């Protein structure tokens, strides 16, 4: 396997409204995505595997959060953390961390890209 070539990563659209909301090329670091569209614990799809620690409920503002960070462990922890935040607040939080970027998709179909996402994927 040639590790010197960049990886092309397509971000899935959980609502299947478009093919891919974003396709990035990653040459350094890691990416992780947290979403509520795969695992539910009820038929109504209100309760999923991500829990807001403030109220014990599954957050429902965002449907997908992708984070680029220096390591997979950081990207995973940050994507889950941002998932429980309001979209814009989450993007601003990621921008406060050097070398990180995020793409947040809301339940209403809006996309919020942090400044870091734009820099890391441009």
pLDDT tens digits, residue range 37-55? 666 555 665 655 676 767 7
CATH number of the domain residue 117 falls in: 3.10.520.10
CA-to-CA distance for 77 and 41, rounded, in angstroms?
Answer: 22
Q: Which residues pair with 106 in a beta bridge?
A: 62
CA-to-CA distance for 97 and 105, rounded, in angstroms?
Answer: 20
How many CB atoms neighbour CB 114 within 10 A?
25
Structural domain of 44: 7-121
Q: Which residues pair with 23 in a beta bridge?
A: 10
Residue 1 lies in a domain: no
Residue 87 lies in a domain: yes
Q: What is the pTM of this model?
A: 0.84
Dump pLDDT digits (tens) for 51-80.
676 776 666 788 889 999 999 999 999 998
Considering its fold, how many domains does the chain have in total?
1
């Amino acid at each position: 396997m040639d590790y010197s070539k960049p990886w092309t990563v397509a971000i899935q659209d959980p609502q299947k409204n478009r093919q891919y909301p974003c396709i990035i090329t990653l040459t350094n670091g890691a990416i992780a995505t947290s979403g509520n569209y795969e695992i539910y614990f009820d038929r109504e799809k209100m309760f999923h595997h991500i829990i807001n620690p403030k109220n014990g409920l599954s957050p429902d503002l965002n449907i997908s959060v992708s984070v680029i960070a220096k390591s997979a462990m950081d990207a995973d922890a940050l994507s889950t953390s941002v998932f429980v935040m309001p979209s814009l607040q989450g993007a601003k939080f990621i921008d406060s961390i050097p070398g990180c970027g995020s793409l947040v998709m809301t339940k209403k179909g809006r996309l919020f890209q942090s400044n870091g996402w734009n820099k890391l994927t441009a």
